[in-house]
Amino acid sequence: MVMTAAAVATGAAQRTGPRVAVIGAGAFGGWTALELVRRGARVTLIDAWGPGNVRASSGGETRVIRAVYGTRPIYTRMAQRAFELWRAHDQKFERRFFHKTGGLWMFGADASFGKASADALAAAKLPFEWLTAADLAKRFPQISNAGITTALWEPEAGYLLARRACEHVAERVVAEGGAYRQGAVRSPVRADGGRLGSVTLDDGSAVEADAFVFACGPWLGTLFPDVIGEFVKPTRQEVYYFGTPAGDRRFEDGQMPVWIDFGDRLLYGIPGNTQRGFKLADDTSGPAFDPTNGSRDLAAAGVEWARKYLAARFPALANAPFLGGEVCQYEASPDSHFIVDAHPGAPNVWLVGGGSGHGFKMGPAMGEIVAGAVLGASKPDPTFQIARFRRSTGPLAEKWS
């Protein structure tokens, strides 16, 4: 992301709405800042390393976008709105952040998640189709149907360009009247007298505002140890890229969808992946991770596991060369629901996070939700309240995916 000093400094001072500082330029923070600007606020967007940086949960090349969510229809509806907003944004700015490939959910003996998802899709009037194992083999012969009993086809699904979209959204914040600053907010953040008046950055400078939105991904618990703390837990997640045969289009957009193998573990992949290679990852939450200083070297055992799985499910890629990978992180809440709530001791401070590995796609929809809350136009769904963690007395709900 390249911005001149003049571009970064201009914008917010020329507006007359409330001053809002948004800390974190990832999917949640960036889209919130842009929506606030469009609603007349004087916005300063702040990020420690820049939008879409490698240490952020919104970094990397691609993310899946889909509306399949099992027994959590709130996210099906939210994804439906996100589909609309991504398409509208791409059309308006002549971009292609959203690649519609369709989404293939493959199930073994237990397809209950798919059946619950189908009910939610039907209620939202989103299209879907059930496929038998024989249908799967016929439609996608490059995928082995071994162990698959049924599959759910979601034609509206696809993938998003993550890092590029974050950079673009931050640029739009400035272009449409906001300001951007690069810097780290000192932690922990303490409100004075029930309200927060300013935050201090690592260079000692202060940013004053009438309201604050902290969308800091895996750092949210560190900034607010007393309110969030362990309710946002960063976990280490590995992603692998393999090379497809030269000229072979079977594993690229148009012939290959995004796919999810829903068994004992949830595995997923993205075709094409901006020419970086065939993407393969395990959605299972990894070990605790330090997003600032943690090692991002891939584990040899993980690469070997990925090779074996690839050979079994995609036989034509059995000998595919390993092109590389990356270590990212989830910033998971205990129940994998998002967090959108005012600080219990400071009503002008909004805490937004808990993306839990499924939040990126929701960025534009989340921007509307948070902007409405900050400006007093609407209230977030109670599902996202922080108090739910302290009310829980039994096992927390299973993860969405």
Rounded Cα–Cα distance for residues 350 and 358 (Å): 20
**b vs e for 15-29, b when ≥16 Cβ sit within 10 Å of the residue's Cβ?**
eebbbbbbbbbbbbb
pLDDT value, residue 388 = 96
Q: Could you tell me which of 162, 98, 165, 144 has the C-alpha nearest to residue 326?
A: 162
The predicted structure's pLDDT at residue 249: 93
Tokens, residue 226: 């007393």
User: What was the pLDDT predicted at 6?
Assistant: 39
> DSSP 3-state assignment of 186?
coil
Contact assessment for residue 79 and residue 65, using Cβ atoms and an 8 Å cutoff: yes
Instruction: With beta carbons less than 8 A apart as the criterion, state whether 25 and 3 touch.
Output: no
What per-residue confidence (pLDDT) applies to 390? 80
pLDDT at 192: 65
- Quote the pLDDT of residue 14: 61
* Measured distance CA(29)–CA(47) in Å, rounded: 9
CB atoms within 10 A of CB 395: 8
**Strand 278-282, strand 233-242: pairing:** antiparallel
The per-residue pLDDT for 243 is: 96
DSSP letters spanning 72-132? -HHHHHHHHHHHHHHHHHHHHHT---EEE--EEEEESS--HHHHHHHHHHHHTT---EEEE
For residues 63 and 13, what is the distance between their CA atoms, to the nearest angstrom?
35
- Is the Cα dihedral 190, 196, 202, 203 positive or negative? negative
Structure tokens at 98: 């959203």
Q: Which residue type, as a one-letter code, is found at position 235?
A: T
Dihedral of the alpha carbons of 166, 18, 371, 230, in degrees to the nearest 10: 80
Alpha-carbon Rg for the chain in angstroms:
21
CA distance 191 to 142: 56
Task: Give the whole-angstrom CA distance, residue 367 versus residue 389.
Answer: 23
Q: In what order do the strands lie in the sheet with 98-100?
A: 62-65, 158-161, 98-100
* Separation between Cα atoms, residue 149 and residue 309, nearest integer Å: 18
Q: What residue type is assigned to position 5 of the chain?
A: A
Order the strands of the 211-214 sheet from edge to edge.
179-182, 42-47, 19-23, 211-214, 346-353, 339-343
Pairing type for strands 19-23 and 42-47 reads parallel
- Give the pLDDT means over successive 10-residue stretches in the chain (401 positions): 46 75 98 98 98 96 97 98 98 98 97 98 98 98 98 98 98 98 92 86 96 98 95 97 94 95 95 91 96 97 97 97 96 97 96 98 98 98 95 39 30
* b/e code 188-226 from CB counts within 10 Å (16+ = b): ebebeeeebeebebeeeeebebbbbbbbbbbbbbbbbee
Strand, coil or helix: 170? helix
DSSP letter assigned to residue 268: E
Say if residues 281 and 269 touch (Cβ distance below 8 Å): yes
